[in-house]
Structure formats: C-alpha cells, structure tokens
Amino acid sequence: MKKVIIAGGTGFIGDFLQKRFQELGYDVIIISRQKQHINWEDRLSIQRALEGAELLINLAGKSVNCRYNEKNKQEIMNSRVATTKILGEAVQSCSNPPELWINSSTATIYRHAEDRPMTEAEGEIGSGFSVDVATKWEDTFFSYKLPETRQIALRIAIVLGKGGGVMTPYRNLVRFGLGGIQGSGKQMFSWIHIEDLFQIILFLRDKKKLSGVFNCSAPQPVTNRALMNKLRHEMNAPIGLPAPKWLLEIGSVFIQTETELVLKSRWVIPDRLEREGYNFRFKTLDHTLQDILNV
C-alpha cells in the first residue's frame, strides 16, 4: 500500500488531506502531539514511518492567530524550525527515504504589496516577525541535502474550505452585520481552495523533475473590499459595517490576535504552477465561496 506521512496533520488542512489520501487508497500516518498518533519525541518511530513512504507532508506549526508577545513568538518560530529539523534528521537516517518531502511555508514571506503581484522569481521578501519565521523555516528545510528525496516548499496563501479555517470567523462577521471592509479595503487577499491544495500536492508528486519553492495560491487574488462584498452577496447580507484600522487594533487585543492577519496586503500569484501546467479547480473567489457556503 502507498504510504503518506502527514506531520502536524490534525488540524483543518491535515484532516482534509488525510481523508482525501485515504480515498485514493493511501496508508496515512500522522505525526502529532496528540496521543493516538506518532509523537514528535519518538524519533525512532518517525524514522520507521518514513521508510518507504511516497510522500512526507509537513504542516506542523503553532497557529499565528494569537498575540505576538515574546512567548508566542518563540513558540511560533520553534514549532516550525524544530519539527522541520526532526524530519530532516529522520529522512537522512532512512535507508529507503520518502520520494518527495513537501514542507509548508507561507505567502506572508513577501512584502506588503498593493502595487504589483509577487511571483517566485520576482517577489520581494518582506520584513518583520512573520517574514523572519517564514525565511527561517525555508532556510532550515533547504539546509538538508537529500539526494534521494525531492524537496518542495509550498508558500501557501489563506486556505478556504468547508467546516473550518478562516471561513468560520469571516462568516460570523457577516452574520452579525460586521462584514464591511477592514482597514482601507485596498489590501489584497490571496487564497487557495483546500481541494486545489490537495490537487497541487498530487500534481507535484507526479512531476518528478520539480523541486524548490512554489506559490500555492489561486490565480485571481482580490481586494479586501471585493472579498467582503462577495461574502455578503453569498450570505444575503446587504449591510456590513466597516472596521477601520484603529478599531481593529482595539478589537485584536480583546480577541487575542494581530491585525496583520487582515491588514497585510498579500498579492501572490502561482506563476510556477501555471507555467508547469497546473489547472486550478477553483480559479475565482466566486466559485470558491459558492462551493463552501452553499452547502
């Protein structure tokens, strides 16, 4: 039986990938801090699981939906770098290592961009804590030289899907009449349907010569204003109060998050994927929201 290892595979994305891979007949093994799975501290079991695996997918990392105090910042960084190191050392120890290792990264690695889109070749790396996390994460991943294992870092945009992720808070905002623009509304919103994320993994699995960095985002980003308009339209909510930056700053303290998550302009396009011939199932936000919201 084909085998895929999903590290950090118990969240919204991991649950979806596990189900889809099982539908294809894969044996899916999860590495997690949850008791029923292989624990991160059990290095021998991790190595044994990786032996003969077709795919290793690393999604591990503390959620960034929190206040960026020193404790949380350290946990966000360490949870990504330390787990990547554990996997790198385990792959090196394998006699029959995985054919492909796909490591999560983030589209937040690029600068705030309202002037032009960011591609893999011409995108400008930004600055600040979130960018530092992303660059350290990728540097750690690519520091392992693995002649028998292809390595791909997916710079994943905001993942949209049913039953979890960011759609839950966005739906609540619209439902309670708060679905107006956030900040200026001009910031770009780059996103990916969770089914396309899965299909991209399969695409990269089959394209044996591909490696390196790929932007994992739909080809038609929208502004925050357009995002909220489309959400209100799909949810039949004619009114949505705006949230200026100063109000978001106050609110973020009470709900223990950071305004960067909604105010940073992420204008990312999947240049390499499209040039290699990947055909998106969900190219537009309209199609995506219709699929997610009209259950």
H helix intervals, the chain: 12-23, 43-50, 70-93, 129-142, 167-175, 194-206, 224-234, 245-254, 260-263, 271-275, 285-293
Q: Which residues of 167-195 are buried (b: 16+ CB within 10 A; e: fewer)?
A: beebbebbeeebbbbbbebebbbbbbbbb
The C-alpha atoms of residue 125 and residue 118 are separated, in whole angstroms, by: 9
d(CA 178, CA 162): 21
- Report the domain count for the chain: 1
Phi and psi, residue 200, nearest 5°: -65, -40
Cα separation, 292 vs 172, in Å, equals 14
Q: What is the largest CA-CA distance in the chain?
A: 60
Q: How far apart are CA 77 and CA 83, in angstroms?
A: 10
Closest CA to 291 of 172, 158, 157, 162: 162
List the CATH number of the domain containing 272.
Answer: 3.40.50.720
Helices then strands (H, E): number in the chain? 11, 10
The pTM of this model reads: 0.94
**Domain span at 16:** 3-293
Q: What tens-digit pLDDT sequence spans the chain (295 residues)?
A: 899 999 999 999 999 999 999 999 999 999 999 989 999 999 999 999 999 999 999 999 998 888 889 999 999 999 999 999 999 999 999 999 999 999 999 999 999 999 999 999 999 999 999 999 999 999 999 999 999 999 999 999 999 999 777 887 788 888 888 889 989 999 999 999 999 999 999 999 999 999 999 999 999 999 999 999 999 999 999 889 888 888 878 777 776 778 787 889 999 999 999 999 999 999 999 999 999 987 5
In this structure, which amino acid lies at residue 9? Answer: G
- Provide the 3-class DSSP secondary structure of residue 100: strand
